[in-house]
Structure 1
Amino acid sequence: MTALLLALWPLFALIVGGYLLRRWDFPSEAFWPGAERLNYFILFPALLFSSLATAPLDNPALPRLALAVLLALGLAWIALLVARRVRGWSAARFGAVTQGVLRFNTYLGLAAVGSLFGKEGLTLAALMLALMVPTVNVMSVWALTAERGVSARSLLLPIARNPLILACLAGALVNLSGLGLPGGTDRLLSLLAAASLPLGLLCVGAALRPQELGGEVPALGWNCAMRLLAMPLLAFGVALALHLPAMESSLLILFFALPTAPTAYVLTRQLGGDSHLMAGIITLQTLLAAASLPLVMGWVG
């Protein structure tokens, strides 16, 4: 447990640092939107591209992980649809709830994987992301637009434009082509990738909105319990049922134990969802994950 805490506390220290820096208006309010865009469109895709361009795509773990991811997400999605029917949620509320349960903080996830499992874990995590990111995005967009109806174009266009998905596809294509990363390209990408995770964690902290925690305490509480406790338990059950090896089980549980993604707030506002609830969910989950993530991963062992 001590080793786990030593691996994870610097990640949350960066998140707290980002929150304090923005509160102190350093370097300036205009810095953070630009930093988020730089990371989202350049630095983070470089990490995913380089991981997949050199990954062993014939790894026998891939089919098992793909099945485990789809099964766990599918079960959670069915449970959410049943809850929506029982509770009578509007699309605005259902979209926020769904993203709170299904989406995950990619920056924190890959930083934790790198600290706990090294390069081998990062390779498997990048392959998992290539499947999880588009699946969760489709579910999120559908949830936010369920009452208005949704076309195939409105579902698929955000995915086709997503730089993380494009980086995964490009990395896989380079890998399959056998071209590799010649002429120092691998070094360039590793330098870009090295900057992505610390900057991403600082941006996560800068995006926290503690003022949004009031007024929705019951909804925030059970949503956090679903994401931070019930989802990793579901992942554990799926890993047990599919007899996944130890590292694959741990990676699956880790990604299902992460707090939701800060970018969920942007999507919620764009599609007319309950942005107040979404901001509260993001903030409270991120804060609570500092305690829940070490506990869950320590329990996994």
Structure 2
Amino acid sequence: MTALLLALWPLFALIVAGYLLHRADFPGAAFWPGAERLNYFVLFPALLASSLARAPLDNPALPRLALAVLLALGLGWLVLLALRRLRGWPAARFGALVQGSLRFNTYLGLAAVGSLYGAPGLTLAALMLALMVPTVNLLSVWALSAERGASPAALLRPILRNPLILGCLAGVALNLSGIGLPGGSERLLGLLAAASLPLGLLCVGAALRPQELRGEGAALLGNALARLLLMPLLALGVARLLGLPALESSLLVLFFALPTAPTAYTLTRQLGGDAHLMAGIITLQTLLAALSLPLLLAWAL
């Protein structure tokens, strides 16, 4: 438990620092949207591309991880569909709840993996992200667009434009082509990647909106319970069912125990979802994860 706390507390300290800096209006209101865009469109894709360009794509863990990830996400999705039918949620609300249950904070996840498991963990985590990012984005877009009868092209367009997915595809292409990262490009991408995670965590803190926690108490708490407790327990059950090795099990549980992604708010607004509910979900889950993540990992692993 002590090792977990030592590895995780600096990550949450950066989130708190981002929130305090934003509240103090430093370095200015215009800084944070620009920093988030820089990270989302340049720095973080560079991290994913560099990790996947060097990853052993013939790793025997890949089929196991793919099955585990898709099984856990599929089971969670089926439960959400059943609840929607039972509760009669409109697409605007359903989309926010789906993102709160299935999406994950990639910045926090990779920073935690790097702190806990080092380079071997980051390699497997990049492989997992190549599977999880497109899947959860597709489910999120479908959930927000379900009542409008969106065409397959309309559903796929935001997926194919997602810079994280493009970063994954670029890394895989460089890897499979044998080009790799020649001529100092590995160093260049490494420098960009090194800036990504601390800046991303600061931006997570700056995006917190405690004022959005009012008025949706039951929905916020229920969704936080689903994301921070039920989903990691589901992932743990899947890992044990498939007999995953220790490191793969740890990574699967970790990614399903993360709070939802701050970028879910942007997607919700773009597609006409319940932005107030989404902002509250992001804020509450991020705050609670500071307690739930180390406790759950210490207990489960």
Q: TM range, normalised to the smaller chain?
A: over 0.9
SS at match of 1:146: helix
Shift of 1:74: 0.3
Partner of residue 116, structure 1: 116
Runs of 4 or more above 4 Å deviation: none
Q: Structure 1: which 5+ runs fail to align?
A: none
Shift of 1:271: 0.9
Cα offsets for 1:177-235 (capped at 9, x unmatched): 11221221111111110000000000000000000001111111110000000000000
Shift of 1:42: 0.7
Partner of residue 127, structure 2: 127
SS at match of 2:298: helix
Partner of residue 48, structure 1: 48
Question: Are 1:154 and 2:154 an aligned pair?
Answer: yes
Cα distance in 1, alignment partners of residues 206 and 43 from structure 2: 18
Shift of 1:300: 2.3
The percent of aligned pairs where both chains have the same amino acid is 80
Cα distance in 1, alignment partners of residues 137 and 179 from structure 2: 31
The one-letter amino acid paired with 1:212 is E
The one-letter amino acid paired with 2:133 is V
Cα distance in 2, alignment partners of residues 172 and 140 from structure 1: 24
SS at match of 1:57: coil
Cα distance in 1, alignment partners of residues 102 and 3 from structure 2: 28
Cα offsets for 1:123-145 (capped at 9, x unmatched): 11111111111111111111111
Cα distance in 2, alignment partners of residues 227 and 47 from structure 1: 26
Q: Which residues of 2 match residues 1-301 of structure 1 at below 5 A? A: 1-301=1-301
Q: Which deviates further from its counterpart, 143-152 or 68-77?
A: 143-152
Cα offsets for 1:96-149 (capped at 9, x unmatched): 111000000000000000001111111111111111111111111111111111
Cα distance in 2, alignment partners of residues 24 and 284 from structure 1: 21
Cα distance in 1, alignment partners of residues 94 and 163 from structure 2: 26
The one-letter amino acid paired with 2:85 is R
Q: Which deviates further from its counterpart, 280-289 or 263-272?
A: 263-272
Cα distance in 2, alignment partners of residues 49 and 75 from structure 1: 29
Cα distance in 1, alignment partners of residues 67 and 161 from structure 2: 25
Q: Structure 2: which 5+ runs fail to align?
A: none
Cα distance in 2, alignment partners of residues 76 and 269 from structure 1: 23
Cα distance in 2, alignment partners of residues 76 and 294 from structure 1: 22
Q: RMSD of aligned C-alpha atoms? A: 0.6
Cα distance in 1, alignment partners of residues 258 and 206 from structure 2: 18
Shift of 1:169: 0.8
SS at match of 2:243: coil
Cα distance in 2, alignment partners of residues 215 and 159 from structure 1: 32
The one-letter amino acid paired with 2:257 is A
Cα distance in 1, alignment partners of residues 66 and 83 from structure 2: 26
SS at match of 1:155: helix
Cα distance in 1, alignment partners of residues 129 and 6 from structure 2: 25
Tell me the number of residue pairs that the alignment of Structure 1 and Structure 2 aligns.
Answer: 301
Cα distance in 2, alignment partners of residues 62 and 266 from structure 1: 31
* TM-score of the two chains, using structure 1 as the length reference: 0.99
